[in-house]
A and B are shown apart, each in its own frame.
Chain A
């Protein structure tokens, strides 16, 4: 009876505005994610040939050695990638937020660059540096007669994935660290705690929302990523198995879709676990604007060590981009530590076309990023601050987008929207807006996790105080919640924007003409021939530089705004 009553009260406590918001978001997710993906993944539950409903395909999945092995490999690789990504991200995040360290700006700007790994060329560049006959191994072999298998087998996948995805942890953890109330640290210091103990017992636990947001993203992203294993020719993992089966010419094999369903289930399970880990704990602190943790000055010796560590890590994580730059300037680079010669011709070749690609990429990626931040922020608010029924489902649904292979979403869009035509007869699916929506859906989980972490650190008491003073809900959100979440929203926008700018798999299905094509597509078109390798790399460099500049600009703008706000206070 009490239970029924409490449910009733909960229902009643939902405001009309909240119900409206949840319905709009649910509708958006249904139309642009669940229905399109559902039309494709439905095959998993049908019998081949007859189309009758069945679950025999799932029985087959668990009876097949290959799939069982793939499943365990995927779990192992994802787990280890989280460990290594944390090992890279932790020192960088701590150095930049806890110490007065002049390299901070470099880390903050360069730290997210690994996320912008253009398809294909990124892979070629990595192979040229770390492959079996890449620069490093050719030199090692020359000097010491040894080779290190960086890029082979499961360990190779872990190596590349950690380098590629550690920025998820870095960005979210730094944001969290910056949001910690200094008084907590001071209280601990007053009680005699310092050094590692202070970090382990006070600082790190308080930054947990950011760390978990990043770590769970890395886990799920690595679990669902197919590009890296395929570039290393590792096939016994789940995502590549799904991809190989979904995209083969000819017959439809239900197993590809069965694997997709399993990928979705595992991704949601992982997110659920991370939510469980946070349950019942309060990470919010009330004081804001104090500039976060106090920064300690480094002594001379410490400084040298810090610069050394940062330099080494940056050299390692930026090596694919260094390789990319070399490739874009190389004449011929084959079985040698360095290219045979250098030329600017590749840039000349792509110069004319790249402006169109750049314009399209900027429009698509920034629109997708904005959509993601708005929807991600709204979902985070609904989940954490309201009691509307079904709010958790929004979170799960949006997260499942991580696990849906881009090509499945692309086919789903064609299936769902190609039949719908505009008055002049052009199919809805051919509009460039569809590319934006597909990108937004694919990158929504990134922004969502960042918004979620940001809101978890805002104390509800601040909102209550505002409401006690007579502010309406809307006004509270606008004047209190949003300004306090700025850092997290920016982190969300940056990750969504920069990864959407180099996304290919869904776009390849949806791009209808060259004039609508983004950079990643232009790159793909070049990268299918030996002569196109250089121009492709040149486009890749342009993409990386462009995305990096835009991100820097948005950091700068937000920072100035915050400073300006601080002045008027």
Chain B
């Protein structure tokens, strides 16, 4: 009896497989990647898996997450494909992703110090991305600026008003950069660096691509971006350079199967294709230029292409603690918005005053003036909350509406913004006082 059932199951399974081999149907994928990335993958996937057609729906990462959440009652999407790990985490926590074990084996478990795949098997890294500093060569030359290589370079006076960054609350990948700096340098020192850079910003964009766009067109000289934006711009002929600072991290870009996918077989086939050597090779195309997750591919990479598995600079990159990051995501993003993005004029004004005073004091050294400048720097760097408070249940609940909240999010925002604008005004006053002393 058992044998008959088993045989019947095998038969039907074989039948299903043959049916799929003939016509796998439409595989629907929601992605934030541009046409330059999706077109070659679509062509490669359809060639490698005859019968399947890939239907690409392009949405920004945040609309993609919202879309999958809003349509879950009658899901029509098979896959979600984007960079930012936090978007996948958000989908996973709402049970919108399905578990899967890819057939491709032998891929590394970690890139740099970041785990490649979700530990529970809900999403998978397919490419690595590192963060760094992109600059426009013509712009730097015209403004007589050296190429910046470290985060701390960006706090120097000569870069005032020459830098762009995407708001971490808008760009999951920028959020990871901010978090990397905070973890690498510690809460207080990290924020001092971020605010030092903040005082030199020309613009805070609301989309990740806004930064490389501004650097490519030369509207701004320097941008804090994910590596492939710079590599693909170079491949398209733009006069741009890129550097990985020593405190950075490489993180994977991901793909996940959506829960209750209408075409589960097709979704699995695509994930397997993406991780296979053929799929990984597509990543090296000039318009894409992302770091493959399969180490074997680097033999085929163009000259000078970074290899996160061999390159010593990636090995020395810091360990990224995803749990610490997750606990304080909203707080860090909101702090950045309230202390830097929405206070840009104030922080820039204060920073400029300090730069001018420092120049004057350097020419005419006086202890009293120097002390005032130290105070001014401390005022800019001052934080309304400590690292412990940022991760505390009370503050986290203020953002989620949980039970232990002691204030509403809007109240915290107002408090932090008022704190920042008061401190920046005081810092500016100190700097002006110092300048008056030595002038």
Could you tell me which A residues sit within 8 Å of B by CB distance?
47-50, 56-57, 60-61, 63-66, 124, 127-128, 131-134, 230, 233, 235-236, 240, 244, 247-251, 253, 255, 331-336, 407, 410-411, 414-415, 418-419, 421, 425-427, 429-430, 508-509, 511-514, 521, 524-533
Asked whether B70 lies within 8 Å of A524 as measured between CB atoms, the reply is no
Q: Residue on A with the closest CB to B397?
A: A49
Interface segment among B5-13, B213-221, B247-255: the answer is B213-221
Give the residues in chain B near A63, CB-CB below 8 Å: 410-411, 414
Asked whether A134 lies within 8 Å of B330 as measured between CB atoms, the reply is no
If A334-B218, A418-B74 are given as contacts, then 7 extra A-B residue pairs at C-beta distance below 8 Å, sorted by A number, are: A233-B210, A247-B66, A248-B62, A249-B87, A332-B238, A511-B57, A529-B35
The smallest beta-carbon distance between A49 and chain B, in angstroms, is: 2
Answer whether residue B237 sits at the interface, using C-beta atoms and an 8 A cutoff: yes
The answer to whether residues A249 and B217 also contact, given A531-B236, A532-B36 and a CB cut-off of 8 A, is no
Asked whether B58 lies within 8 Å of A525 as measured between CB atoms, the reply is yes
Q: Which of B32, B76, B401 contacts A50 (CB 8 A)?
A: B401
Give the residues in chain A near B373, CB-CB below 8 Å: none
Asked whether A235 lies within 8 Å of B74 as measured between CB atoms, the reply is no
Q: Which of B61, B204, B239, B414 contacts A235 (CB 8 A)?
A: B204
The smallest beta-carbon distance between A537 and chain B, in angstroms, is: 12
Asked whether B410 lies within 8 Å of A60 as measured between CB atoms, the reply is yes
A132 and B139 alpha carbons, distance in the complex (Å): 12
Asked whether B341 lies within 8 Å of A531 as measured between CB atoms, the reply is no
The 4 closest A-B pairs by CB, nearest first: A49-B401, A335-B218, A48-B401, A528-B34
Q: Which of B56, B58, B70 contacts A418 (CB 8 A)?
A: B70
A203 and B329 alpha carbons, distance in the complex (Å): 61
Answer whether residue B229 sits at the interface, using C-beta atoms and an 8 A cutoff: yes
Asked whether A531 lies within 8 Å of B287 as measured between CB atoms, the reply is yes
Asked whether A427 lies within 8 Å of B76 as measured between CB atoms, the reply is yes
Kindly identify, within residues 234 to 273 of chain B, every residue whose CB is under 8 Å from any CB belonging to chain A: 235-240
Kindly identify, within residues 9 to 23 of chain B, every residue whose CB is under 8 Å from any CB belonging to chain A: none
Give the residues in chain A near B183, CB-CB below 8 Å: none
Give the residues in chain A near B66, CB-CB below 8 Å: 247, 411, 509
The smallest beta-carbon distance between B376 and chain A, in angstroms, is: 23
The smallest beta-carbon distance between B67 and chain A, in angstroms, is: 6
Give the residues in chain A near B237, CB-CB below 8 Å: 331-332
A430 and B75 alpha carbons, distance in the complex (Å): 11
Kindly identify, within residues 59 to 93 of chain B, every residue whose CB is under 8 Å from any CB belonging to chain A: 59-63, 65-67, 70-71, 73-74, 76, 84, 86-87, 90
The smallest beta-carbon distance between B340 and chain A, in angstroms, is: 11
Q: Residue on B with the closest CB to A57?
A: B410
Give the residues in chain A near B149, CB-CB below 8 Å: none
Kindly identify, within residues 272 to 312 of chain B, every residue whose CB is under 8 Å from any CB belonging to chain A: 286-287
* 22 A–B contacts, CB within 8 A, in A order: A56-B408, A60-B411, A60-B414, A63-B411, A64-B410, A64-B417, A65-B414, A66-B342, A132-B202, A233-B203, A244-B167, A248-B170, A249-B84, A251-B400, A334-B239, A335-B139, A512-B57, A525-B35, A529-B35, A529-B209, A530-B233, A530-B238
The answer to whether residues A529 and B232 also contact, given A248-B62, A427-B74 and a CB cut-off of 8 A, is yes
The smallest beta-carbon distance between A32 and chain B, in angstroms, is: 17
Answer whether residue B114 sits at the interface, using C-beta atoms and an 8 A cutoff: no
Q: Which of B32, B71, B84, B213 contacts A427 (CB 8 A)?
A: B71
Answer whether residue B317 sits at the interface, using C-beta atoms and an 8 A cutoff: no
Asked whether B136 lies within 8 Å of A529 as measured between CB atoms, the reply is no
Give the residues in chain A near B172, CB-CB below 8 Å: 249
- Contacts between the two chains (Cβ within 8 Å), count: 197
Kindly identify, within residues 359 to 380 of chain B, every residue whose CB is under 8 Å from any CB belonging to chain A: none
- Provide the main secondary structure of the chain B interface: helix
Answer whether residue B206 sits at the interface, using C-beta atoms and an 8 A cutoff: yes
Number of chain B residues close to chain A: CB under 8 A: 84
Q: Residue on B with the closest CB to A249?
A: B62
Q: Residue on A with the closest CB to B213?
A: A124
Q: Residue on A with the closest CB to B73?
A: A419
The answer to whether residues A235 and B342 also contact, given A248-B169, A418-B71 and a CB cut-off of 8 A, is yes
The smallest beta-carbon distance between B110 and chain A, in angstroms, is: 25
Asked whether A64 lies within 8 Å of B414 as measured between CB atoms, the reply is yes
Asked whether B238 lies within 8 Å of A508 as measured between CB atoms, the reply is no
The smallest beta-carbon distance between B437 and chain A, in angstroms, is: 32
Q: Residue on B with the closest CB to A248?
A: B169
A235 and B336 alpha carbons, distance in the complex (Å): 14
Answer whether residue B37 sits at the interface, using C-beta atoms and an 8 A cutoff: yes
In this complex, the member of A134, A247, A335, A430 whose beta carbon has the largest number of chain B beta carbons within 10 angstroms is A335
In this complex, the member of B84, B202, B218, B329 whose beta carbon has the largest number of chain A beta carbons within 10 angstroms is B218
Q: Residue on A with the closest CB to B239?
A: A334
Give the residues in chain A near B217, CB-CB below 8 Å: 124, 127-128, 131, 133, 333-335
Give the residues in chain B near A411, CB-CB below 8 Å: 66, 70
A178 and B1 alpha carbons, distance in the complex (Å): 90
A233 and B161 alpha carbons, distance in the complex (Å): 14
Q: Residue on B with the closest CB to A153?
A: B345
Asked whether B229 lies within 8 Å of A530 as measured between CB atoms, the reply is yes
Q: Residue on B with the closest CB to A40?
A: B70
A535 and B163 alpha carbons, distance in the complex (Å): 27
Give the residues in chain A near B411, CB-CB below 8 Å: 60, 63
A111 and B418 alpha carbons, distance in the complex (Å): 46
In this complex, the member of A133, A249, A513, A528 whose beta carbon has the largest number of chain B beta carbons within 10 angstroms is A249
Asked whether B74 lies within 8 Å of A335 as measured between CB atoms, the reply is no
Q: Residue on A with the closest CB to B411?
A: A60
Asked whether A66 lies within 8 Å of B417 as measured between CB atoms, the reply is yes
The smallest beta-carbon distance between A480 and chain B, in angstroms, is: 47
Answer whether residue B402 sits at the interface, using C-beta atoms and an 8 A cutoff: yes
A230 and B213 alpha carbons, distance in the complex (Å): 14
Answer whether residue B138 sits at the interface, using C-beta atoms and an 8 A cutoff: yes
Q: Residue on B with the closest CB to A349?
A: B35
A134 and B61 alpha carbons, distance in the complex (Å): 30
Q: Residue on B with the closest CB to A50?
A: B401
Q: Residue on B with the closest CB to A335?
A: B218
Give the residues in chain A near B394, CB-CB below 8 Å: none
Answer whether residue B55 sits at the interface, using C-beta atoms and an 8 A cutoff: yes
The smallest beta-carbon distance between A378 and chain B, in angstroms, is: 32
Give the residues in chain A near B202, CB-CB below 8 Å: 132
Asked whether A127 lies within 8 Å of B232 as measured between CB atoms, the reply is no
Asked whether A418 lies within 8 Å of B73 as measured between CB atoms, the reply is yes
Give the residues in chain B near A236, CB-CB below 8 Å: 342
Asked whether B76 lies within 8 Å of A250 as measured between CB atoms, the reply is no
The answer to whether residues A64 and B35 also contact, given A49-B402, A244-B206 and a CB cut-off of 8 A, is no
Kindly identify, within residues 121 to 173 of chain B, every residue whose CB is under 8 Å from any CB belonging to chain A: 136, 138-139, 142, 167, 169-170, 172
Asked whether A430 lies within 8 Å of B76 as measured between CB atoms, the reply is yes
Give the residues in chain A near B87, CB-CB below 8 Å: 249
Asked whether B232 lies within 8 Å of A531 as measured between CB atoms, the reply is yes
Give the residues in chain B near A331, CB-CB below 8 Å: 237
The answer to whether residues A509 and B204 also contact, given A65-B418, A524-B58, A528-B34 and a CB cut-off of 8 A, is no
Asked whether A421 lies within 8 Å of B142 as measured between CB atoms, the reply is no
Asked whether B219 lies within 8 Å of A66 as measured between CB atoms, the reply is no
The smallest beta-carbon distance between B179 and chain A, in angstroms, is: 15
A53 and B387 alpha carbons, distance in the complex (Å): 33
Q: Residue on B with the closest CB to A511?
A: B57
The smallest beta-carbon distance between A432 and chain B, in angstroms, is: 14
Answer whether residue B212 sits at the interface, using C-beta atoms and an 8 A cutoff: yes
A527 and B76 alpha carbons, distance in the complex (Å): 26
Give the residues in chain A near B333, CB-CB below 8 Å: 248
The smallest beta-carbon distance between B394 and chain A, in angstroms, is: 13
Answer whether residue B187 sits at the interface, using C-beta atoms and an 8 A cutoff: no
Give the residues in chain B near A251, CB-CB below 8 Å: 330, 399-400
Q: Residue on A with the closest CB to B286?
A: A531
The answer to whether residues A334 and B90 also contact, given A60-B410, A251-B400, A253-B409 and a CB cut-off of 8 A, is no
In this complex, the member of A57, A127, A240, A419 whose beta carbon has the largest number of chain B beta carbons within 10 angstroms is A127
A235 and B340 alpha carbons, distance in the complex (Å): 12
Asked whether A233 lies within 8 Å of B287 as measured between CB atoms, the reply is no
Q: Which of B138, B206, B338, B401 contacts A335 (CB 8 A)?
A: B138
Answer whether residue B393 sits at the interface, using C-beta atoms and an 8 A cutoff: no
Answer whether residue B113 sits at the interface, using C-beta atoms and an 8 A cutoff: no
Answer whether residue B413 sits at the interface, using C-beta atoms and an 8 A cutoff: yes
